[in-house]
Amino acid sequence: MPSFLTRKRIAAVATVVVVLGGAVAAAGARSDRSPSYRTATAGLESVDQELHVVGSVEPVSQATVAFPVAGTVATVDVSVGQEVTVGSQLATLDVDDLEVSRHEKQAALDQAELVLQLALDGEDVSSLTGGGGSPSGGFGRSAAAGGDAELKAAQQAVLDAQSAVDDATAAAGLAYDNAVSVCSASTVQDAVDDGTTSTTAAVDDSAACLAALQAVLDAQADVTAAQQQLTEAVDALNALLDQMAEEAGTTTTTTPSTPSTPSDPSTGSTGSSGGTGSSGLPSGSSGSTGSTGSSSGAPSGSASGTSSSPSAEDLISYQKAVDAAEDEVAVAQQAIDQATIVSPIAGRVASVNLAVGDDVDAASSTANIVVVGDGGYEVTTQVSVKDLPDIELGQPATVTPDGGDAAVEGEVVRIGVTPDTSGTSATYAVTIGLTGDTSEMGNGSTASVVIVTSAAEKALAVPTSAVTVDGDRATVQVVTDGKAEETTVETGAIGSTWTEITDGLEEGDEVVLADLDEPLPGSATDTSSNGTQSGGSTVAFPGGGGGFPGGGSGGFRPPGN
């Protein structure tokens, strides 16, 4: 089965490439066999899964490389005077203690997933959530009963929608921080009447700034759409619970208890993830603010033997706890991956200030290896915790400086494990070592960075828009003898156009991209918008710069505000 993060990425990418997928399908349509479907054929394709970010160009002629995590030095792989290239391994740590930490984080994730599953099964989970979180809104029969397929689907819709909100909010926070970084680089000095100077942010028309602003607008639209989908899912579940309560002949309403709040993996503090209102819905969303489901029967294990369905608000909280625990596992795994340090530049080892068996601190100023080069540049960028699991040392990357027309080749040489919380959301620094021509680069300039996080050559693939996610399943519709049948698949690399299929399909299978008998959505049903949302604020930059060029409005509320 596809991993949790992979399933979410399919859903996000599929939304973006519906139009593109339609174009691909037009070329591969088989109208003679299935006139009611627009299809494409599963075939061998090269698939690159890419992460697009904005980076800052920095000069580098000497690199002092230390371990980003504390531990005991296991190997030292270079000596003074040795020539190294970008990505050459310098030293490693013993990972035993780091493995213990990751196992602890995994145990916390397992616990969060257990709470969620028990709640879906109608169990009382108050003993697992510190006294809160007992099911509410129940309808007096088992939530796991075979006849409750409609309920299960409604519950899963809420969980999927909350995960989408978490992902969209993290992506929007990163886009906002990128825009601030890029557009604030254009500042002007204005003389004032008293002869002093003040610095104000000037949002100019540079390609990088405009692209960053558009990314904020796109991210805002994704947040708005995700919040709207969550609101609709909550309303649908609450309506279904009310209906089931009426069918059971009960009238007593209950107020959902408040489950324990998950911790923020980036700060260690407690608080709601992604910015939520009192209802458990994200800030700025509208819709149900409390469960009105009815309750009859006691929780599972009571004398009555009945169990209750958790309310939508309970499910939101449980899913947020799972998402937060997954982020903590990702950070712990990244710490293990960073037990190996590599050279960010090509050059000569000038000094080795550590030895096998040494206990070193994280980011030590003394326990390090110094590499001296002929001069050049490296690029530092930021990624969100949601993208952190996809980043690995050695992954290929291309960097295109703002105003340049040629991409420079490079690779990932350093990944931070300590979050930067100076912006609107916690992000992690990633450094790209450059192996190509850097003559067009300038100190402090911005650049577009593309990191290939997964790749497959001549892999069985289908258009990304053909893949559908429903809870734990990734599926496609396979056309056989003119009829479409849902088929579960496993996925590998996920690109903007193609998604690798590792199991479930064979070359030559026809998959559905569109049902031509279904009407296209109209503008009245399109929830994506660049306008403001309830409680939103305009994007403003340091120094008082306001809004977007041309008077565009920005309703994105940075996470945590």
Query: How many Å apart are CA 348 and CA 351, to the nearest integer?
Result: 9
Cα 152 to Cα 139: distance, rounded to the nearest angstrom: 14
Residues 6+ positions from 103 with CB-CB distance below 8 Å: none
pLDDT per residue over 97-124, tens digit each? 889 999 999 999 999 999 999 988 888 8
Determine the Cα–Cα distance for residues 159 and 167; give it in Å rounded to an integer.
Answer: 13
Placement of tokens 């002629």 in the chain: 61
160 and 116 Cβ atoms separated by less than 8 Å:
no
Sign of the C-alpha dihedral, residues 145, 147, 148, 149?
positive
Contact between residue 388 and residue 310 where contact means Cβ atoms under 8 Å apart? no
pLDDT in tens, 429-470: 899 999 888 877 777 678 889 999 999 989 999 999 899 876
pLDDT at 554: 37
The first and second tokens of residue 487, run together, are 């088929």
Residues whose CB falls within 8 Å of the CB of residue 95, separated by 6 or more in sequence, listed in order: 71, 74, 336, 339
Per-chain mean pLDDT for the chain:
73
Residues 6+ apart with CB under 8 A from 55: 379, 380, 381, 399, 432, 446, 447, 448, 449
Instruction: Provide the CB-side half-sphere exposure for 112 (13 A, CA).
Output: 25
β-strand pairing of 540-541 with 396-401: unpaired
pLDDT digits (tens, 9 = 90+) for 57-88: 888 889 999 998 899 999 999 999 999 999 99
Question: Burial code of 482-491, b = ≥16 C-beta within 10 A, e = fewer?
Answer: eebeebebeb
Measured torsion, CA atoms of residues 482, 483, 484, 486, in degrees rounded to the nearest 10: -140
Q: How many other C-beta atoms are found inside a 10 Å radius of the C-beta of residue 294? A: 24
Average pLDDT over residues 351-357: 95
Between 87 and 29, residue with greater pLDDT: 87
Name the least confident of 25-39, 210-224, 506-520.
25-39
Q: Please state, as a whole number, how many other Cβ atoms lie within 10 Å of the Cβ of residue 366.
A: 9
CA–CA distance from 192 to each of 184, 309, 485, 523 (Å)? 20, 65, 71, 48
- Output the 3-class SS for 112-160: HHHHHHHHHCCCCCHHHCCCCCCCCCCCCCCCCCCCCHHHHHHHHHHHH
pTM above 0.85, yes or no: no
Rg (CA), the chain: 26
Q: At 230, which amino acid appears?
A: L
Residue 366: which residues within 8 A CB-CB, separation 6 or more?
353
In whole angstroms, what is the distance from residue 426 CA to residue 420 CA?
A: 5
Question: What is the band of 224 on the pLDDT scale with cuts at 50, 70, 90?
Answer: very high
The reported pLDDT for the residue numbered 171 is: 86
Q: Are 216 and 554 in contact (CB under 8 A)?
A: yes
CA distance 314 to 136: 8
Backbone angles phi, psi at 25, to 5 degrees: -65, -35
Q: What is the DSSP letter of 356?
A: T
The H or E element that residue 220 is part of is: helix 207-247
Residue 276 has pLDDT above 60, yes or no: no
Closest CA to 395 of 410, 408, 380: 410
Contacts of 63 (CB under 8 A, 6+ apart): 343, 344, 345, 347, 370, 371, 373
Is residue 307 a contact partner of residue 300, using CB atoms and an 8 Å limit? yes
Q: Are 519 and 511 in contact (CB under 8 A)?
A: no
3-state secondary structure of 459: strand
Whether residue 513 contacts residue 524, with contact meaning beta carbons closer than 8 Å, is answered with no
Single-letter code of the amino acid located at 544:
G
Task: Give the pLDDT band (50/70/90) at residue 243.
Answer: confident
> Would you state the pLDDT for residue 108?
94
Report pLDDT digits (tens) over 305-327: 444 678 889 999 999 999 889 98
Decide if pLDDT at 342 tops 90.
Answer: yes
Is 70 in a helix, a strand, or coil?
Answer: coil
H, E, C per residue of 87-120: CCEEEEECCHHHHHHHHHHHHHHHHHHHHHHHHH
* Gap between the Cα atoms of 299 and 347, Å rounded: 67
- Give yes or no for a contact between 81 and 348, defined as CB atoms under 8 angstroms apart: yes
- Beta-carbon count within 10 A of 147 CB: 8
Q: What are phi and psi of 235, to 5 degrees?
A: -60, -40
Q: What is the model's pLDDT at position 395?
A: 93
Give the burial class of 31: count Cβ atoms within 10 A of its Cβ; 0-12 exposed, 13-18 middle, 19 or more buried.
exposed
Contact present, 384 and 170 (Cβ < 8 Å)? yes
| Mean pLDDT across 519-528 | 44
